[in-house]
Amino acid sequence: MTVRGTEPLMEDREPGMKHRSRMIYLQCVKALIGGIPVDCDIGLRVWNRAIYGFPRTCFRRRVRGDWVPRRLHVRATRTRSAILTIGTLAWLFLGFTGHVVAGDWSVIRPNILVIVTDQQFADVMGCAGCPGIETPAMDSLAKQGVRFTRAYVNYPVCLPERYTMFTGRLPCTRRQADREHKPLVSLGNQAKKGGYETAYFGKWHIQDQTFDRDDVAHHGFDINVGGKDTGMTDDAIHFLSQARRRPFLAVVSYYNPHDICEWGRKKAGRSERITMHNGDVDINPPLDRCPPLPDNYEINCDEAEAVQVRRSLRPKRVSNAQAMAMDFSDDDWRQYRWAYQRLVELVDKQIARVLSALEDEGLADKTVVIFTSDHGDGYAAHRWHQKSVLYEESCRVPFVIRWPGGARQGETDDRLISVGIDLMPTMSDIVGVRMPQGPYYGKSAWPFVLDAGSQAPTHEYVVTETEVRLGAKESYHGRSLRTPDYKYHLWSRGENREQLFDMVNDPGETRNLVDSPEYAAQLSKHRDLFAQWLEETDDIYSED
Ligand SMILES: [Ca+2]
């Protein structure tokens, strides 16, 4: 059972919360005795003894041949407990006070810096093994933190995914929430509930009805400024340089490598007026500098009808870069891959500036950095440009968490992450506040950042939504369901609406196994899991 409502969520969070309590206690002890490492289990046991008293069995011994009377035993336990409790609390209070006066809140609650790029496929980073690209900032985060290699968005399009990242709710609930003007709790609200200062820099792109950028009381970010990538980095660095007495949550939301959309339009000659606001890159780079075509470059012979329709939809509209890319030659696609890598490098340079500012201000060791993206990009796989579809390149994104204050470093983790719905519980776990009234289906990734062997709940599978709209009332609704070894695509209608891929032997999703008898059991299993998902969540997927 992986899908939960509010109450089970609280129960499931206990392992993570317990581990977090241990880590906080360890941080306190380390800070108070001058940074000397103390085993957290021993620390927790000392704490428990101080609060709850010694086990009564400790005193069950003979005195001059007789058992100690139970009345005396209890009194002795209570007296000792009281002394230990008062002493420990005084010790912690004085220690905390000293640190808080000194402005070092990180021993209790670290700062949180969330870095979001726009349209970045997980594999286009040096640390992910991408040849020909230089991303030292992203690589440094991976080297000093945990890189989750199976992190999937809940919707491979900007606005619905950002709604989910912001609220923890499923993307399909967005329109109803807008219609009903539901009061949604945001990341900013949650952080403020935990006593954090909140700031947001850069791309917003959350529907005005959901979160009007000017409505601070609603979205919870006291500082909220836009701007292009360079300017917003300046603003974020200025924010980091300011003295404060409380921990902060800062979101730095970049545009690149999203400018690959503009590059595609320029390449297709759709408009002379198109400019790349976050740094230009060559439209016609020499081919000897361009990456080769990917192994899964060709369009699948049994591609879902919905995807074929999306390729041909409104081909004359400048906004539909996918349709214009259908005229790209093989060389164009290679140049497109080269340009995409350069745009990732441009945003990496801005991220490097923010990370340097953290170091310069002495905040690096006191700040959890979460790095991710709102969705991926086709990157020429299946000759796909931009996003929207359920292929890996559109849906799998970077998800790296760095916490120098006691987490794993330089490790990868292949647990399934559902980025949109997991971000809110992860951040709440770090801040130390409970999730609001649900329904929520995300899980905190924080226990796995602290401990590779954590037994905290994880996803048995993750689900991604999408939609191909033909008009106001006509759509193809799509879902993918990813398990550790397989990926199941389902569209609400059309030819080839059901697809199953073996992600171990065919990570490029090129061979649909739906009609293969040897995979019948896996197909049945994934159908059942999807039925379970629909039954247990408020997903409104429909084939009507
Ligand atoms: Ca986007």
Question: Which residue in 306, 322, 313 sits closest to 476, CA to CA?
Answer: 306
Q: Residue 66's pLDDT is what?
A: 52
Q: Can you tell me the distance from the alpha carbon of 483 to that of 494, in angstroms, rounded to the nearest whole number?
A: 24
Q: Where are the domains of the chain?
A: 14-103, 111-421, 463-536
What's the 517 CA to ligand 1 centre distance in angstroms? 39
What's the 277 CA to ligand 1 centre distance in angstroms? 15
For 401, the enclosing helix (H) or strand (E) is strand 399-402
Query: What pTM did the predictor assign?
Result: 0.83
What's the 375 CA to ligand 1 centre distance in angstroms? 6
Q: Residue 392's pLDDT is what?
A: 98
Residue 520: CB atoms within 10 A of its CB come to 13
CATH of domain 463-536: 3.30.1120
Question: Which residue in 214, 123, 219 sits closest to 165, CA to CA?
Answer: 219
| Phi/psi at 400 (5° precision) | -125, 135
What's the 373 CA to ligand 1 centre distance in angstroms? 8
Q: Residue 404's pLDDT is what?
A: 93
What's the 39 CA to ligand 1 centre distance in angstroms? 43
Residue 454: CB atoms within 10 A of its CB come to 17
| Phi/psi at 418 (5° precision) | -110, 90
Pick the CATH number of 111-421 from 3.30.950.10, 3.40.50.1000, 3.40.720.10, 1.10.10.10: 3.40.720.10
DSSP output for 77-108: HHHHHHHHHHHHHHHHHHHHHHHHHTT-GGGT
Give Cα 101 to chain centroid, integer Å.
Answer: 33
What's the 372 CA to ligand 1 centre distance in angstroms? 12
What's the 387 CA to ligand 1 centre distance in angstroms? 9
What's the 539 CA to ligand 1 centre distance in angstroms? 22
Q: Residue 88's pLDDT is what?
A: 61
Q: Can you tell me the distance from the alpha carbon of 532 to that of 536, in angstroms, rounded to the nearest whole number?
A: 6
Tokens 């939809």, residue?
313
What's the 254 CA to ligand 1 centre distance in angstroms? 10
What's the 427 CA to ligand 1 centre distance in angstroms? 21
Mean pLDDT by 10 residues, the chain (544 residues): 31 45 54 40 45 42 49 50 66 53 61 98 98 98 98 96 95 84 88 96 80 84 94 98 95 96 86 82 95 98 94 69 82 97 98 98 96 97 94 98 92 98 97 93 97 96 94 89 98 97 98 98 98 96 86
HSE on the CB side for 236, CA within 13 Å? Answer: 31
Q: Residue 225's pLDDT is what?
A: 94
What's the 257 CA to ligand 1 centre distance in angstroms? 9
What's the 260 CA to ligand 1 centre distance in angstroms? 11
Q: Residue 12's pLDDT is what?
A: 38
What's the 81 CA to ligand 1 centre distance in angstroms? 56
What's the 131 CA to ligand 1 centre distance in angstroms? 24
Q: Can you tell me the distance from the alpha carbon of 137 to that of 126, in angstroms, rounded to the nearest whole number?
A: 10
